[in-house]
């Protein structure tokens, strides 16, 4: 019979909740901002919803770059916080900021030159192409600010400060949601800009976020500070940790292009319904699983920095147990509440019916989210970003795309085949992440990275 040390377990859970709630609030406001975009777009027509959904496939590129560099920043920041190496930590986050700002510049040019082609290649209707291109051009203009904001938030979170990113990002997203309504619908003296107004709201909010998070680090508000970069070892570690995480996110984004083309074979309404279902689960559950994942990175990274790999392993399992219970309950809410939730986003009967089905599919998948995200977060805190990349790449390409297409088209299962492919993809994510945490060498990898940075002179 296994004896559970409740004091130790509840201690990890209390620490996780303490770190998670500001992140959850922050993520809630982030997803609320995107939800408002979809709701406002739905007031015009399903084509507007499809246009934003397709354009967001490309708009995920700066998001993925920012999250990737942010993963490198949070790994080094948490580990160096654990070992009280503030000088090395400050150099690391400074380099992550600089890399992020430079990485966003080419995306501005890509948006100006190729937005229409990016949407057209997906096979969308002409109206959707025109609307999506207008939106994407404006959103890509915000790319450097978006990346800098994400890197800054993750850098602070690595130190255990999850409140400051919540305040900055939350304020930016509330402004974004308000500006979306005002600029898109032409409230008061504002012009009615439609989908361009939705994009402009994002540009304004992301600029505010980047300026505010930079100011928080420059001023005495936080423990972090910028420092002159002097070590290629730090650069190599940031890039080494970040690249697999960027590839992880991009694998999902890249697969979404043909996946959305597959959905478009069944009509614009089906494609719009998928984005509505996706928005529903991200709004209600995304803040939870993302917060738990980030908290796992912080806790495991700091424990490894303190030289306690056994405690880090225990914390990873304890956080996963909390996550599975929480996400399982969230899945029940999605399944039971799918119909009224879908009705919020669209009044079109066909689109609403498909959105209900997609929402329930995501509800069934929630326990797998509960497994994948805490273990993936723990691995990233140790600097192992390859295992989560393998998990998502295999699950996304092999099941969400490959199995969905095979069942839906050649075998004639239609949308039922797509539903099954989606669930199987998340199951694959969970299995690979568990295997990597149980049998991987992530603790040794973290120890090696820390040893390299210990040798860097002050």
Tens digit of each residue's pLDDT (9 = 90 or more) over 43-93: 888 788 888 888 888 888 898 899 889 998 999 999 999 988 888 889 988
In a domain, 278, yes or no: yes
What does the alpha-carbon distance between residue 226 and residue 422 come to, in Å, rounded to a whole number?
43
Structural domain count, the chain: 1
| Per-residue pLDDT at 432 | 97
Q: Is 452 exposed, middle or buried (0-12, 13-18, 19+ CB in 10 A)?
A: middle
Does residue 56 lie in a domain region?
yes
- Res. 381: pLDDT tops 90: yes
Kindly report the number of other CB atoms within 10 A of residue 81's CB atom. Answer: 22
Q: How many CB atoms lie within 10 A of CB 153?
A: 27
Q: Is the pLDDT of residue 374 over 90?
A: yes
pLDDT band at 360 (very low <50, low <70, confident <90, very high): very high
Of 266-270, 303-307, 330-334, 425-429, the range with the lowest mean pLDDT is: 266-270
What is the band of 41 on the pLDDT scale with cuts at 50, 70, 90?
A: confident
User: Helix, strand or coil for residue 280?
Assistant: helix
Q: Give pLDDT tens digits for 240-281.
A: 999 998 888 888 778 877 898 899 889 888 988 998 899 899
Q: In this model, does residue 436 exceed pLDDT 60?
A: yes
C-alpha of 109 from chain center: 24
**CB–CB of 255/398 below 8 Å?**
no
pLDDT band at 1 (very low <50, low <70, confident <90, very high): very low
Q: How confident is the model at residue 317 (pLDDT cuts 50, 70, 90)?
A: very high
- Tell which residue, 191, 99, 115, has the closest CA to residue 154: 99
Calculate mean pLDDT across residues 130-151. Answer: 92
pLDDT category at 3 given cuts 50, 70, 90 is: low
Residue 97: domain span:
6-454
Q: Is the pLDDT of residue 150 over 90?
A: yes
CB-based contact 362:278 (threshold 8 Å)? yes
* Full-model pTM: 0.85
Round to whole Å and give the CA distance between 154 and 166. Answer: 11
Find the farthest-apart pair of alpha carbons in the chain and give their distance in angstroms, rounded.
70
Q: What percent of the chain is predicted at pLDDT more than 70?
A: 99
CA–CA dist 89, 458 (Å, integer): 11
Q: 52 Cβ partners below 8 Å, 6+ apart?
A: 37, 38, 41, 132, 135, 195, 198, 275
> What share of the chain in percent tops pLDDT 90?
55
Task: Look at residue 52 and give its three-state secondary structure.
Answer: helix
Does 29 reside within a domain?
A: yes
The verdict on residue 1 lying in a domain is no
288 pLDDT higher than 60: yes
Q: Give pLDDT tens digits for 383-411.
A: 999 999 999 999 999 999 999 999 999 99
Asked whether the beta carbons of 339 and 356 are under 8 A apart, the reply is yes
What pLDDT does residue 206 have? 93
CB 428 within 8 A of CB 389: no
CA 321 to chain centre: 21
* Helices marked H in 265-308: 268-305
b (16+ CB within 10 A) / e for 6-26: eeebeebbebbeebbbbbbbb
């Amino acid at each position: 019979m296994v004896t559970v040390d409740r004091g130790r377990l509840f201690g990890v859970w209390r620490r996780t909740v303490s770190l998670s709630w500001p992140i959850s609030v922050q993520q809630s406001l982030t997803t609320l901002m995107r939800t408002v975009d979809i709701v406002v777009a739905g007031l015009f027509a399903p084509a507007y919803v499809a246009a934003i959904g397709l354009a967001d496939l490309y708009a995920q590129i700066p998001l993925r770059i920012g999250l990737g560099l942010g993963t490198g920043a949070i790994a080094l920041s948490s580990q160096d916080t654990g070992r009280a190496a503030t000088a090395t930590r400050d150099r690391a986050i400074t380099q992550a900021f600089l890399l992020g700002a430079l990485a966003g510049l080419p995306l501005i040019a890509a948006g100006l030159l190729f937005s229409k082609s990016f949407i057209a290649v997906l096979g969308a209707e002409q109206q959707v192409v025109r609307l999506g291109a207008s939106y994407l051009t404006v959103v890509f203009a915000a790319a450097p600010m978006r990346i800098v904001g994400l890197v800054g938030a993750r850098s602070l979170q690595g130190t255990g400060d999850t409140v400051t990113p919540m305040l900055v990002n939350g304020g930016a997203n509330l402004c974004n949601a308000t500006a979306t309504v005002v600029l898109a619908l032409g409230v008061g003296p504002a012009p009615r800009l439609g989908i361009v107004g939705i994009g402009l709201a994002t540009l304004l909010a992301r600029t505010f976020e980047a300026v505010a998070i930079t100011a928080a680090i420059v001023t005495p508000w936080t423990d972090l500070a910028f420092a002159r970069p002097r070590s290629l070892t730090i650069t190599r570690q940031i890039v080494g940790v970040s690249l697999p995480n960027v590839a992880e996110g991009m694998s999902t984004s890249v697969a979404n292009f043909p996946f959305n083309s597959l959905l478009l074979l069944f009509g614009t309404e089906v494609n719009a319904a998928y984005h509505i279902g996706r928005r529903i689960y991200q709004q209600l559950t995304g803040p939870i699983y993302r917060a738990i994942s980030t908290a796992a990175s912080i806790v495991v990274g700091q424990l490894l920095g303190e030289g306690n790999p056994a405690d880090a392993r225990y914390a990873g399992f304890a956080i996963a147990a909390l996550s599975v219970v929480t996400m399982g309950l969230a899945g029940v809410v999605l399944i039971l509440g799918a119909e009224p939730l879908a009705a919020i986003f669209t009044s079109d009967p066909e689109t609403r019916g498909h959105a209900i089905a997609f929402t329930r599919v995501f509800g069934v998948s929630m326990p797998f989210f509960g497994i994948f995200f805490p273990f993936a977060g723990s691995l990233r805190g140790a600097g192992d970003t390859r295992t989560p990349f393998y998990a998502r790449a295999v699950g996304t390409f092999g099941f969400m795309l490959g199995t969905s297409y095979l069942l839906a088209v050649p075998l004639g299962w239609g949308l039922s085949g797509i539903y099954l492919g989606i669930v199987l993809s998340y199951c694959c994510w969970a299995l690979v992440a568990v295997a990597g945490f149980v049998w991987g060498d992530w603790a040794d990898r973290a120890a090696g990275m820390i040893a390299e940075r210990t040798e860097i002179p002050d």
